Structure 1
């Protein structure tokens, strides 16, 4: 059941919500607000241990993204797959 309610958003939040709707990520501002509340509900449902781990992981990702680009590891899917295969081969050949 939907209940009509009125909320007030700051210009910053309203502009962002409108952009998300314009970009086609959400059908309406109502759905943007609902998605934000859904995130809060999911966060409340995490155990303290899960929440701490997620928070730490997010902090680590932000820290790394703020670092210099030259420190980034280049992505090469084929090379990565070959390294994983070599490690697995080494591990299981010694059985």
Structure 2
């Protein structure tokens, strides 16, 4: 179910969201906000298991439109997973 709701953004946040849309990274400002919420939810559910983190990232990317897929040569997924593991071990 989708619910319509008005959200107040600062001028700076709105400009940034609109730039993301203009750059073709998202189809709408609404999708920018949805992605932000999705990432927050994923962070809340994150585990210390690097394989689970990688599986989550693969699932997230599989849902992207083809024109938003990330080339492996430009990807830093493994660096982010390594950082996440290192951070979890330093706690």
Q: Give the TM-score category using the shorter length.
A: 0.5 to 0.7
Gap regions ≥5 residues in structure 2: 51-82
Aligned to 1:12: 12
For 1:22 and 1:8, how far apart are their aligned partners in 2?
20
Aligned to 1:30: 30
Matched-pair contact (CA < 8 Å) for 2:21–2:27: yes
TM-score (norm 2): 0.53
Aligned to 1:62: none
Gap regions ≥5 residues in structure 1: 58-95
SS of equivalent residue, structure 1 residue 47: coil
Aligned to 2:58: none
- The residue correspondences of 1:53-72 to structure 2 (distance < 5 A) are 54=84
Instruction: State the structure with more CA Rg.
Output: 1
Cα deviation, residue 56, structure 1: 5.2
- Pairwise CA RMSD of aligned residues? 2.4
Higher relative contact order (CA 8 A, sep 6+): 2
Would the alpha carbon gap of residues 11 and 46 (structure 1) be closer, same or farther in structure 2, given more than 3 Å must change? Answer: same
Would the alpha carbon gap of residues 46 and 5 (structure 1) be closer, same or farther in structure 2, given more than 3 Å must change? Answer: same
TM-score (norm 1): 0.51
Cα deviation, residue 47, structure 1: 2.6
Aligned residues between the structures: 56
